[in-house]
Structure 1
Amino acid sequence: MAKNTTGKNTSGRGQRDLTVTVKTARGRKMSSTRWLQRQLNDPYVKRAQAEGFRGRAAFKIMEVDDKFRFLVPGARVVDLGCAPGGWIQVAVPRVNALGEKQGKAVGRILGIDLQEVEPLPGAEIHQLDFMADDADEVVKEWLGGKADVVMSDMAASSSGHKQTDHLRIIALCEAAAYFSFDVLEVGGTFVAKVLAGGAEGDLQKLLKQKFTKVMHVKPPASRSDSSEKFVVATGFRG
């Protein structure tokens, strides 16, 4: 049960955001209680709810794109592991997928996920395992050609062991990178979430062979206590 720790009336001008504490219910793990309390007090979670985004991750891609500018009008975008759809929500207006920006090129967005995802205006969403043998050809057929951007916010299920989780997400990111090599146009961009932990050196070496620039960034929306960061590779060599 959540409660206001101050007991004061929170209405009126000049009110402060109050910290919410969560009691540990019988049968609930302390880690679950901590996660719930963090969610309830996370300003990005509150902002996502207020602005209609499907998750706080929307602000991560927003901040990364503000810095590197790859979601431009007319861009063709593939979002791997797109559930719940927050990254797509950010991409739709930026690539002009709905054609609302007069005089600007109209982009296309293709969302891919293993699970079913609720539709989003301006995007085409499919259930597909991107690691299937013919997935790259299927995606190019759906997209009507090659992509300008392949992006991924995927993460493997947590094992609770930090090094194991690091290796799993790096392996997933490498698989996404190889997929991008098959579907990107020359000059295209690859963006993916990684976890710092020592094994990302091989991934960076691989990307440097295929792209003219490879950078790492930790956007403000990424929690400071998380080892999460994002790799941004631009200028695909083909």
Structure 2
Amino acid sequence: MSGGKGKGVSGGGTGGGRALKVKVKTARRRTNSSNRWLERQLNDPYVRRAKAEGLRSRAAYKLIEIDEKHHLLKPGMRVVDLGAAPGGWSQVAVSRTGSSDAGPRIVAIDYLEMDQLPGVIVLEKNFLDDDAPQVLQDALGGHKADLVLSDMAAPTTGHKKTDHLRIMHLCEVAIEFARDVLAPGGAFLAKVFRGGTEHTLLADLKRDFAQVMHVKPAASRQDSAELYVLAKGFRGRAVTLGDDGDLGEVLGDDEDIAVRPDF
């Protein structure tokens, strides 16, 4: 259940000019799929750019691109980064919020080991642990968060439907956490996969957020089913007054809701 994320936090193209394609020789202990993955990594312009700019992973550019279009990160914000290892998204958040060791405003969690980052409270813990939400809230020092990020992904099985359901479950748990910790007007950004149920997820988010949409940054590989769901303008958890069928849920003003698939 880990993200792949980000010091350098500029936007723009992949840079670096055209590089010669690297071919990977077959090794006795590597499978064909491993060779394909390695060759793709070696030839990925975002991977090369991340190494050149001191980023922890190529995935940092996904957040950079989304932020430059949707203006999620602002100075002084408090941010929770779920599935943070190796730390690329946290790096971007630190740079754009001004978080520091003297006043850390970023809380990152992952069950994978993650090197410490200035301005980030790093928790090595599984977000699905029962006590994880409370541990995160304690790390926030009693403050509400302005943005909850989730680049979590479950280990893949190779079975498309199963893998889709696993990542959607992670996203749903992240949403419930976000509803508990977000300040009014806050935002939520999380990875999902195409597969049908992501539209149900959008409908669920519409209850509590003013704007809900899908985004796919250029840094997200075009042959991947990966998408990001972005919800902005948190209005508070929709309240159910009763189950007698007369009162139902107290919802926000539908005129403020915009669902804009952006594949």
TM-score range, shorter chain: 0.7 to 0.9
| Cross-structure match for 1:128 | 125
Q: Secondary structure at the match of 1:20?
A: coil
Aligned positions of 1:147-158 closer than 5 A: 147-158=145-156
| Cross-structure match for 1:29 | 31
Listed as ranges, the gaps of 5+ residues in structure 1 are 1-14, 100-105
Q: Is the 8 A contact 1:74 1:107 kept in 2?
A: no
Q: Is the 8 A contact 1:152 1:176 kept in 2?
A: yes
1:97 to 96, 99, 102: 99
Of 129-138 and 37-46, deviating more is: 129-138
Q: Residues 67-114 of structure 1: CA distance to partner in whole angstroms, max 9, x if unpaired?
A: 111110010000001000000111111001139xxxxxx771000111
Distance 1:25 1:132 in 2: 39
Q: Is the 8 A contact 1:190 1:233 kept in 2?
A: yes
1:138 to 135, 138, 159: 135
TM-score, length-normalised on structure 1?
0.87
Q: Is the 8 A contact 2:104 2:121 kept in 1?
A: no
Percent of pairs identical after alignment? 58
Aligned positions of 1:223-238 closer than 5 A: 223-238=221-236
Q: Is the 8 A contact 2:191 2:226 kept in 1?
A: yes
| Cross-structure match for 2:216 | 218
Q: Is the 8 A contact 1:214 1:233 kept in 2?
A: yes
Q: 1:217 is aligned with what amino acid? A: V
Q: Is the 8 A contact 2:104 2:120 kept in 1?
A: no
Alignment size in residue pairs: 219
Q: Secondary structure at the match of 1:22?
A: coil
Distance 2:24 2:89 in 1: 29
The alpha carbon displacement at 1:16 in A equals 4.5
1:163 to 161, 164, 184: 161
Q: Is the 8 A contact 2:79 2:107 kept in 1?
A: yes
Q: 1:229 is aligned with what amino acid? A: L
Structure 1 stretches of 4+ with a deviation exceeding 6 A read none
2:49 to 32, 47, 50: 47
Could you say if the C-alpha distance between residues 107 and 27 of structure 1 is closer, same or farther in structure 2, counting changes exceeding 3 Å?
closer
| Cross-structure match for 1:6 | none
Q: Secondary structure at the match of 1:66?
A: helix
TM-score, length-normalised on structure 2?
0.79
Distance 1:139 1:169 in 2: 21
Q: Secondary structure at the match of 1:168?
A: helix
Q: 1:156 is aligned with what amino acid? A: A
Distance 1:172 1:153 in 2: 10
Q: Secondary structure at the match of 2:52?
A: helix
| Cross-structure match for 2:257 | none
Distance 2:81 2:216 in 1: 19
CA RMSD of aligned residues (A): 1.7
